[in-house]
């Protein structure tokens, strides 16, 4: 078998992975996921829509301005420009795949979310946008002759030959292992929210792809920047907390405390629609003071079944009528701005290894992601990477010594529960050096934590957060020092 005949392996079946696989035609692609499409996938849970400058008076430049402001200026400007310049193209492409975006009469309906100065959020099926986009991409991938689907399994090792990716090792649900050769590999495995006790992410968003890449020697970038969504439903139970979409605040809902006082009053010119890091910290402080935080959506008008069917159903399952009752909310780990360091085309520092979507960091989100830019990033940069892979005909790494790089030992259920509580306490919306150092020491002296790949990943995050001594975006240190923070490894170091 020649190098050109070997498939591109895409690990991850969310929006970014599917967009990459579709755009890579006619090269053969093998798609690998832990679950069937739509299960255990953050894309399917996304209630926010996709941001695109399509309204009157809007422009890509305005979209870029809001993206940079939300990201605290830590963004890579050229990556932001590419994102916003290709947003409308992404929307049109999705429409060709059958995505029916919500309309207001004969025009596309444009909503508004946190950090946006203008209405530019398109939804599909109201607050079920992620599921609608994923379903359309899934249908297209099933029809694509160049895409082959691997039965659900976990990729737990990379095969390297002469420091180049030549394959992956997969483990199925029965524990059977198998090595699969490839010409290039793409990691599109999502975020790390499942490593926090309070999260909106499914269990599969545990940083597995990030940990695997780092084990192989790929540098990571901006690991300290974790975004916390300010309005997860505050309910008891295990697993992901239900998300209460930000679009509700765009439609007139407000945050308040037990006494009904507006939490965001006087805190920011955009009030309840301020960037997520600011809103999450204000909600966090209300909870830390012993009170409860509430989202009052009783002033929201219109057809809830059309606009907010997911939130309506979630609330009613927990005995809340959101049209007449306030909704209890809490911040929760939501999106990782950091990840595997990649260049503008999704290349990592390891030849043949690429990354895209939330598991990658190309600098587009900076220190805090702008609302509804995540699905957009997965589409825009997934298609860019796919086109690159379609055009490039690299020979597979078939000479030289080879080695298998394993992700490492997984944490036990009890160790993982302890680690999640530790991450929430030390790396939550408000941080301080003493708590983070205590968490590091705890992991170091606990063999069950220290020996696991999850423990190693949280260790790297804590180390990055300790190095950045000043607050920036979603990384907020209440003990911030009055001096310049240590900067992350620049992306340009990966470009050749």
- Spans of all domains in the chain: 230-332
Cα–Cα distance, 247 to 125 (Å, whole number)? 13
Torsions phi, psi for 62 (to 5 deg): -65, -40
Give every CB contact of residue 116 below 8 A, 6+ residues apart in sequence.
51, 66, 250, 273, 370, 371, 372
- Position 339 scores a pLDDT of 98
How many CB atoms neighbour CB 3 within 10 A? Answer: 16
- Position 48 scores a pLDDT of 61
How many CB atoms neighbour CB 461 within 10 A? Answer: 26
Q: Are 210 and 249 in contact (CB under 8 A)?
A: no
pTM score of the predicted model: 0.90
- Position 309 scores a pLDDT of 85
Give the side-chain half-sphere CA count within 13 A for 53.
Answer: 18
Residue 302, judged by CB atoms within 10 A of its CB (0-12, 13-18, 19+), counts as exposed
Residue 101, judged by CB atoms within 10 A of its CB (0-12, 13-18, 19+), counts as buried
- Position 130 scores a pLDDT of 76
323 is catalytic: no
- Position 36 scores a pLDDT of 66
Flag residues of the chain having pLDDT under 50. 1-3, 38-40, 43-45, 482-496
Between the CA of residue 281 and those of 9, 263, 400, what are the distances in Å?
40, 11, 52
- Position 43 scores a pLDDT of 47
Q: Which H/E stretch holds residue 335?
A: strand 327-336
Q: Are 11 and 17 in contact (CB under 8 A)?
A: yes
Q: Which CATH number fits domain 230-332: 3.90.1170.40, 3.90.700.10, 2.60.40.10, 3.40.50.2000?
A: 3.90.700.10
Sign of CA dihedral 88, 90, 96, 102: negative
- Position 310 scores a pLDDT of 85
- Position 394 scores a pLDDT of 55
442: its two tokens: 């705890």
In the beta sheet, which residues pair with residue 333? 199, 228
Q: Is 72 helix (H, G, I), strand (E, B) or coil?
A: coil
Catalytic hit among 112, 276, 347, 460: 276
Listed residue (428, 422, 414, 419) closest to 454, CA to CA: 419
């Amino acid at each position: 078998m020649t190098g050109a005949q070997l498939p591109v392996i895409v690990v991850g079946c969310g929006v970014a992975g599917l967009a990459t696989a579709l755009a890579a035609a006619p090269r053969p692609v093998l798609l690998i996921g832990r679950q069937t499409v739509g299960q255990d996938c953050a894309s399917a849970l996304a209630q926010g829509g996709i941001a695109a400058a399509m309204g009157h008076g809007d422009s890509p430049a305005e979209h870029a301005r809001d993206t940079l402001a939300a990201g605290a200026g830590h963004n890579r400007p050229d990556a932001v420009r590419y994102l916003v310049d290709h947003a409308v193209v992404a929307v049109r492409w999705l429409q060709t795949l059958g995505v029916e975006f919500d309309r207001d009469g004969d025009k596309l309906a444009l909503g508004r979310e946190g950090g946006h100065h203008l209405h530019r959020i398109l939804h599909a099926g109201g607050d079920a946008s992620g599921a609608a986009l994923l379903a359309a991409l899934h249908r297209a991938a099933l029809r694509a002759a160049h895409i082959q689907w691997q039965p659900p399994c976990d990729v737990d090792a990379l095969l390297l030959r002469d420091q180049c990716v030549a394959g992956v090792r997969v483990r199925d649900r029965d524990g059977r292992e198998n090595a699969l050769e490839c010409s290039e590999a793409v990691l599109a495995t999502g975020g790390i929210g499942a490593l926090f006790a309070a999260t909106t992410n499914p269990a599969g968003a545990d940083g597995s792809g990030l940990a695997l890449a780092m084990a192989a020697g790929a540098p990571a970038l901006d690991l300290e920047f974790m975004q916390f969504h300010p309005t997860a439903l505050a309910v008891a139970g295990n697993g992901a907390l239900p998300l209460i979409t930000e679009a509700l605040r765009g439609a007139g809902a407000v945050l308040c405390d037990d006494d009904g006082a507006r939490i965001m009053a006087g805190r920011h010119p955009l009030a309840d629609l301020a960037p997520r890091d600011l809103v999450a910290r204000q909600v966090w402080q209300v909870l830390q003071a012993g009170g409860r935080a509430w989202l009052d959506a009783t002033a929201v008008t219109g057809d809830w079944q059309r606009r907010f069917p997911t939130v309506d159903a979630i609330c009613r399952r927990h005995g809340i009528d959101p049209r007449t009752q306030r909704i209890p909310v809490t911040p929760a780990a939501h999106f990782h701005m950091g990840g595997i360091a990649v260049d503008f085309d999704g290349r990592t520092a390891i030849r043949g290894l690429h990354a895209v979507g939330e598991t990658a960091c190309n600098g587009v989100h900076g220190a805090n992601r702008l609302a509804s830019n995540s699905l957009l990033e997965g589409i825009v940069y997934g298609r860019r990477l796919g086109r690159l892979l379609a055009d490039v005909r690299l020979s597979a790494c078939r000479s030289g010594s080879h080695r298998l790089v394993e992700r490492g030992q997984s944490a036990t259920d009890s160790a993982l529960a302890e680690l999640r509580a530790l991450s929430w306490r030390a790396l939550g919306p408000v941080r301080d050096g003493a708590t983070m150092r205590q968490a590091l020491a705890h992991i170091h002296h606990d063999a069950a934590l220290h020996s696991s790949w999850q423990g190693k990943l949280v260790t790297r995050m804590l180390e990055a957060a300790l190095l950045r001594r000043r607050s920036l975006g979603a990384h907020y240190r209440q003990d911030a020092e009055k001096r310049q923070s240590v900067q992350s490894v620049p992306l340009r170091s990966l470009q050749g």
